[in-house]
Amino acid sequence: METAVFEEFHDPYMQGPAGQGIFLAGVLLGYMAERQVGPEGDIGKSPLFKQIQFGRMDKMNLKRILSRVPQLLTAYREEMKYTAYMNRLGAAALELILQADDEEMGVNGNFAFAAGFINARHYFWKLFPIKKGETTGESGEEEINNGL
């Protein structure tokens, strides 16, 4: 996983483990929500999207949702591609959140989460760059190699 993406951010919150973990959680959950509804689906109809309290998320709610990620990935294994990447992303997000102090998310955390969620596809592939012709070991490689 490429973590150089955090060097692009000048916000001091994004330089600490809390900001990075919450941002990665947003990327993970956003990407999973997109996968739940498919490429042409409305993300607002995703079951995962409906569980998220945007703007009012606190660490307890975020941890509750993140604790279900392994179960969700197993349940949607057939519909979701790249579950190995999502597992790695979830592990990194959880580790960073556990390394952070016990400060609540507040405005900065909710903003970082929303930024990751809204731009999930973009940042997912920045975190897991695939070069042309490289294989992932999972089905759907043509999607990666075509830049989708």
Quote the pLDDT of residue 118: 95
> CA 49, 52, 55, 57: dihedral to nearest 10 degrees?
-160
Closest of 127, 45, 47, 49 to residue 86, by C-alpha:
127
Inside any domain, residue 69: yes
In terms of C-beta density within 10 A (0-12 exposed, 13-18 middle, 19 or more buried), how is residue 110 classed? buried
Q: Give the separation between CA 138 and CA 131, rounded to whole angstroms.
A: 15
Share of the chain above pLDDT 70, in %: 86
Which DSSP string corresponds to 17-72? HHHHHHHHHHHHHHHHHHHHH-TTS-GGG-HHHHH--TTT--HHHHHHHHTTHHHH
**pLDDT tier at 92 (50, 70, 90 boundaries)?**
very high
pLDDT single digits (tens) 94-142? 999 999 888 889 999 999 999 999 999 999 999 998 866 555 544 443 3
User: Does 11 score more than 50 pLDDT?
Assistant: yes
Asked whether residue 70 is domain-assigned, the answer is yes
pLDDT band at residue 37 using 50, 70 and 90 as cut-offs = confident
Instruction: Answer yes or no: is 110 within a domain.
Output: yes
The continuous run of DSSP H or E covering 5 comes out as: none
Is 3 a domain residue? no
Q: Is pLDDT larger for residue 138 or for residue 39?
A: 39
Confirm if 62 and 25 have CB atoms less than 8 A apart. Answer: yes
Mean pLDDT of 68-92: 85
Q: Which residues span the domain enclosing 136?
A: 14-145
Inside any domain, residue 86: yes
> Could you give the number of structural domains in the chain?
1
Assess if residue 67 is contained within a domain: yes
